Amino acid sequence: MLDLKEHSHRRWNPLRREWVLVSPHRATRPWQGQTEMPTVIEQPRYDPHCYLCPGNERAAGHRNPPYETTFVFDNDFAALQPDSPAGHFQQGELLVAEGAPGYCRVICFSARHDLTLANMSLSEIGRVVDLWVDQYVELGSKPGVQSVQIFENRGEMMGASNPHPHCQIWADDRVPNELAVEVAAFDDYWHRIGRSLLADYAAVEDERVVFENDHFWTVVPFWAVWPFETMIIPKVHMTGMDQMSNDERQGLAECLQRLTRRYDALFGVPFPYSMGFHQRPTDGEAHEGFHWHAHFYPPLLRSATVRKFLVGYEMLGMPQRDFTPEMAAARLRYTEEVMGG
């Protein structure tokens, strides 16, 4: 009889419609990952050399205003350019390219250099949530924009070039790969079943719930790839963050604060992660089956010095994990929430 705690098995990810290999028995093997020394540096409230702090000059020569709360600006080194020609290149069937116009922005969460979501107040995080909603609506309404991707890379391990609390927004004229895969899965489930895929998933979830409030579940998904991967799922079926009430916005702020504090407390270090929100595309279609949500992808495995890599079989075959989602959820569920660093 298959025992999900002991035997190798595959789990179905309904959002991506692909399999994840789980090998719980491998957790006892002698070598359990590369060891890296964590970088823990106490940050000042203001850094005169930081290009995101108020009043400072950025790398491209622009100067920040003396902002006091949040601040949004067009990325000086944007990956997408609004004036990029929408041309098409093709040589036969195999060499195909097209222009990719779009917009890239940076949002500073706070004027303080030393804050993170984990040690910001609920009202401070609430202002960030409000700005996310405003930016999603504004950028999504620009001609030609079909998707708005909000994301944060936290920590050097995730490629963050600056510790100042900030995130990015990329808005482009195509629905990007990861979102397109989810859109197809949501649409298919909606048309076949007539309900929200994530609402039905949350209704049968229990063992992997980390915590919940009146408006959101925070779970380690059954199909998680990263060791302490989590999702934040609205309890009400909504296609985008712009449909949240004021109470739901505050509920999201609470989830973000509680989750990031647990992450930081888990191994006693500022927890690296990439996180982002998947919302309905802004391509003019209703996408009524889509259920917006947040993904957190942290790389740390068993301690602050051991990280997970996706290599070998995972690059050539399918994603694989040893540490089960149930074990991860239990660790996070019973980790005391403390103000992060």
* Better-scored residue on pLDDT, 29 or 323: 323
The residues with which 35 forms a beta bridge, in sequence order, are 306
Residue 187 has pLDDT above 80, yes or no: yes
Quote the pLDDT of residue 337: 85
Length of the chain: 341
Per-residue pLDDT tens over the stretch 206-260: 999 999 999 999 999 999 999 999 999 999 999 999 999 999 999 999 999 999 9
- Average pLDDT in the chain: 93
How far apart, in whole angstroms, are the C-alpha atoms of residue 52 and residue 107? 9
How far apart, in whole angstroms, are the C-alpha atoms of residue 53 and residue 31? 42
Residue 65 has pLDDT above 80, yes or no: yes
Q: State the amino acid at position 214 in one-letter form.
A: D
Site of tokens 């909606």:
190
Pick from 37-46, 63-72, 171-180, 275-284: least confident: 37-46
The residues with which 103 forms a beta bridge, in sequence order, are 171
Quote the pLDDT of residue 158: 86
Among candidate residues 113, 164, 166, 295, the one labeled active-site is 166
The two structure tokens encoding residue 281: 């595309």
Task: Report yes or no: 338 and 264 within 8 Å, Cβ to Cβ.
Answer: yes
Task: Report yes or no: 321 and 248 within 8 Å, Cβ to Cβ.
Answer: no
How far apart, in whole angstroms, are the C-alpha atoms of residue 87 and residue 98? 6
7 is catalytic: no
Quote the pLDDT of residue 340: 60
Compute the half-sphere exposure of residue 183: CA atoms within 13 Å on the CB side of its CA: 19
Domain 42-333, CATH: 3.30.428.10
Gyration radius of the chain over CA positions: 20
Q: How far is CA 135 from the centre of its chain?
A: 17
Per-residue pLDDT tens over the stretch 256-312: 999 999 999 999 889 999 999 999 999 999 999 999 999 999 998 877 878 888 889
Q: How many helices (H) and strands (E) does the chain have?
A: 6, 16
The two structure tokens encoding residue 130: 């409000």
The two structure tokens encoding residue 47: 């850094």
How far apart, in whole angstroms, are the C-alpha atoms of residue 163 and residue 24? 35
Domain residue spans of the chain? 42-333
How far apart, in whole angstroms, are the C-alpha atoms of residue 325 and residue 72? 36
- Non-local (6+) Cβ contacts of 30 within 8 A are none
How far apart, in whole angstroms, are the C-alpha atoms of residue 296 and residue 210? 13
Q: What is the DSSP letter of 34?
A: -
